[in-house]
Amino acid sequence: MSSRLLRVALFASAAIALSYPSAKAEDVLGADVGKALQQAQSALSAHDYTKAMTSVDEADAVKGKSDYESYTITQMRAAVATQAGNVDAASSAYDKLIASPRTPKDTKHQMLMSEATMAYTAKDYPRAVKAIERYQKEVGSNATMDTLLAQSYYLQKDYTNSVRVLRQQIDQEIKEKKTPAESQLQMLGASASGMKDSSVTTHAYVLLATYYPKKEYWALLLHELIVNPRIPPSLQLDVYRIRLAAGNVSQARDFMEMTEIAMQAGMPQLALDLMNQGYQANVLGQGAEAARQARLKAMVEKSIADKKASIAADEAAALKQTSGNDLLTVGYNYVTFGQTDKGLGLMQQAITKGVTDINVARLHYGLAQLAAGKKADAIATLKTVDGGSGAQDIAQLWVLNLSVAK
């Protein structure tokens, strides 16, 4: 909450404390109480809070006070304590006013909000949480109070509750087709990082990159992907590929490693496509390593010729197997060779037959659809990737990348 809003809230708190309910005929102030409260009001206007509170205490010490007099004294005590920043005294006074049948319902709600605001301003976050939750229980949701609640949890490093509250707020805003505040999403990411929940951290960065597509949010997303312990070595090529698509690969060694991994997976055309992107970016073919890179490219090109010659036999052998793993690779190779319909059909058949990891298979099928020029179908397929192997995280980033791409 901004300092300006807090100042406004505190000013309003004092005004609320001094608001008067509808008076009854018998509601009058005795001379002693009236004189003391007048002195308190004058001192409060002069910002002499010590003198103002002394006058309030004098009024409270008068014997035989009516209910109206006690109520009015409590109002003044709340106003003075609020302006003086005495959270304990102000909260105690507000609690009495809220409990009084003299206080109108709407005013009680405003007083509850004032209690929370004062506690937050005083950095008494546990008290702020208690006051806000009481407000929410008695009044309902309020954007300002909801934000203060998340901040109060976060600032006392209660990240579990901070994440819980923020996710509820953000999910509701998205459901209502509203754009979550950037600061709200940043706090979600920071809270999730604080509790070392990589899944929620990634989710927060995905939302940031979705609603506020800045380069630094993509960098954070990709960093989370790289350090994510759920990503197995078998998905290393897929990590490289989404990084490449997001413009996050700029080293020759990365292009070389991508090429080698694709070759080891038996996908030479994909290896060449990745390598060619390195040449187009003027990352490969430069300096002392240019000759070695050229030799690798020549080897890849020969492997492509060999694979094209053997792919029909590879298909026949894969079809005879009980598992669909090899057939999935054969289908992907057909797609990279330009026979997209045939390749996609074989990949579907492989998934139906059964593969080791259905979600990795869906990820690769979605990327094959993308390579075939079927962007909408690719996005739909990638959205079906689930599970905890890390494939879902990669698919989620592809969906984001394709959705924001012009």
Residues 377 and 367: their CA atoms lie apart, in Å, by 10
Model pTM above 0.75: no
For residues 109 and 145, the answer to whether their CB atoms sit within 8 Å is: no
Domain ranges of the chain: 3-22+30-119, 237-404
Higher pLDDT, 209 or 273: 273
Convert the pLDDT of each residue in 65-84 to its tens digit.
999 999 999 999 999 998 89
| pLDDT in the model for residue 19 | 53
| pLDDT in the model for residue 405 | 58
Average pLDDT (49-76) is 94
Convert the pLDDT of each residue in 273-299 to its tens digit.
999 999 999 999 999 999 999 999 999
Mean pLDDT of the chain: 90
Q: State the DSSP H helix or E strand holding residue 235, giving kind and residue range, or none if neither.
A: none
Residues 324 and 314: their CA atoms lie apart, in Å, by 13
Residues 96 and 346: their CA atoms lie apart, in Å, by 74
For residues 371 and 269, the answer to whether their CB atoms sit within 8 Å is: no
Residues 97 and 105: their CA atoms lie apart, in Å, by 11
Average pLDDT (236-245) is 95
